[in-house]
């Protein structure tokens, strides 16, 4: 299954946030069972946030690790225009949807499901996804 991971899933693991156990299990399933994708802008935001909390070397190391098991959705000008046309109030979330559409994702995995109610693709939390698709 193809999954677009919102940045908040990765941040759960990096910063050991309360959702970390389920997000770690989901990431493990992406390494073994599913194909993970991330939006291009998520990679830049992730690096920026890690640099601020830790340092640039740690940020590069974590991004390198991410790119070893997740692919970056190929998006461009038309995808940004499509995001503007989506009936979503948060443009960054609309960009996530456009990235998910560009890579052919089956689901968007996010902690902010309420922000994706108008998404043409289903959005699930890690817990919801794992309940529907148990690890093999």
pLDDT tens-digit readout, 36-81: 999 999 999 999 999 999 999 999 999 999 999 999 999 999 999 9
Mean pLDDT across 101-119: 97
Contact by Cβ (8 Å): 20, 125? no
> What is the number of structural domains in the chain?
1
The HSE-up count of residue 68 (CA atoms within 13 Å, CB side) is: 7
Question: Three-class SS of residue 43?
Answer: helix
Looking at residue 32, its pLDDT comes to 85
pTM for the structure as a whole: 0.95
Residue 3: is its pLDDT beyond 90?
A: yes
Domain interval for residue 29: 2-132
Residue 132: is its pLDDT beyond 80?
A: yes
Question: Three-class SS of residue 123?
Answer: strand
- Average confidence score pLDDT of the chain: 96
What CATH number is attached to the domain comprising 115?
Answer: 3.40.50.1010
Contact by Cβ (8 Å): 36, 70? yes
């Amino acid at each position: 299954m193809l999954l677009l991971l919102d940045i908040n899933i990765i941040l759960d693991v990096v910063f050991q946030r309360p959702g970390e156990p389920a997000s770690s299990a989901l990431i493990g399933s992406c390494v073994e069972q599913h194909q993970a994708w991330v939006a291009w802008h998520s990679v830049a935001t992730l690096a920026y946030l890690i640099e601020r909390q830790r340092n640039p070397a740690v940020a590069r190391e974590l991004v390198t690790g991410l790119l070893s098991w997740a692919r970056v959705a190929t998006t461009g000008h038309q995808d940004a225009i499509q995001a503007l046309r989506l009936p979503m109030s948060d443009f960054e979330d609309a960009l996530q949807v456009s990235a998910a559409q560009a890579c052919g994702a089956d689901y968007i995995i996010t902690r902010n499901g309420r922000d994706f109610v108008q998404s043409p693709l289903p959005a699930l939390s890690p817990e919801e996804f794992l309940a529907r698709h148990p690890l093999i």
